[in-house]
Amino acid sequence: AAAREMGMQGIEHAADVMRLAAQQHHTTIGVEIDAGVADCPAGPLYSALLNGIKNAVESVASVGGRGSVQVSCRIEATATSRTRGQPASQWVRINISDDGAGITRGVPASKLFDAGYSTKPDGHGIGLALTRSILERMGGHAELSARDDTSPRRPGAVLTLRFPLQDRGNDARKVG
């Protein structure tokens, strides 16, 4: 049972690690997790979560004032499978959304995942490239998109991490 609880604890822990930095920038971090997410795999996904929350907090800080970061984790079923004759599968979808600066104009969102590319003056272009690599190894993908429910002054962005939920038996590497 302890391994089944690790998925939620891993997501909460990544948020907790960033809360002090967020508070220093008048930013709140909220977390919403579906109960079935306890079966999320562990390992490198934690790094992707931590990086995504860190980027969101930094984006909010760059526009100043009070802001928020919201981490939501849901289980979704695909209507069809990519392989004919296979049953529909379940996917984990983690959204890390913020009301920060948004995506840099003129830069395709896919370029932000290129190793070595950064829009930050002191950035190295490692975080999102690593995130994409982690998700691809899990059979999933990562994408960054603009929010459509915020003000022009605080356009915000959403980092989506999506991967298949697989039955891993008693695999002790579950965290999420």
Per-residue pLDDT of the chain (176 residues; tens, 9 = 90+): 333 344 667 888 999 999 999 999 999 999 998 877 765 655 678 999 999 999 999 999 999 889 999 999 998 877 555 555 555 688 889 999 999 999 888 888 788 888 888 888 888 889 999 999 999 998 999 999 988 887 777 899 999 999 887 654 434 344 44
DSSP 8-state code for residue 72: E
pTM for the model stands at 0.83
DSSP 8-state code for residue 174: B
Looking at residue 107, what is its pLDDT? 84
Cα 111 from Cα 34, distance rounded (Å)? 31
* Tokens found for residue 145: 């998109």
Cα 41 from Cα 27, distance rounded (Å)? 28
Phi-psi region of 158 (alpha: psi -120 to 50; beta: other; left: phi over 0): beta
Looking at residue 82, what is its pLDDT? 55
- All residues at 6 or more sequence positions from 4 whose CB lies less than 8 Å from its CB, including other chains: 38, 39, 174
Please answer whether residues 29 and 158 qualify as being in contact, where contact means their C-beta atoms are separated by less than 8 angstroms.
no
**C-alpha closest to that of 95 among 11, 4, 1:** 11
Looking at residue 132, what is its pLDDT? 94
Beta-sheet strands, E only, within 19-156: 27-33, 67-77, 90-98, 141-146
Looking at residue 170, what is its pLDDT? 39
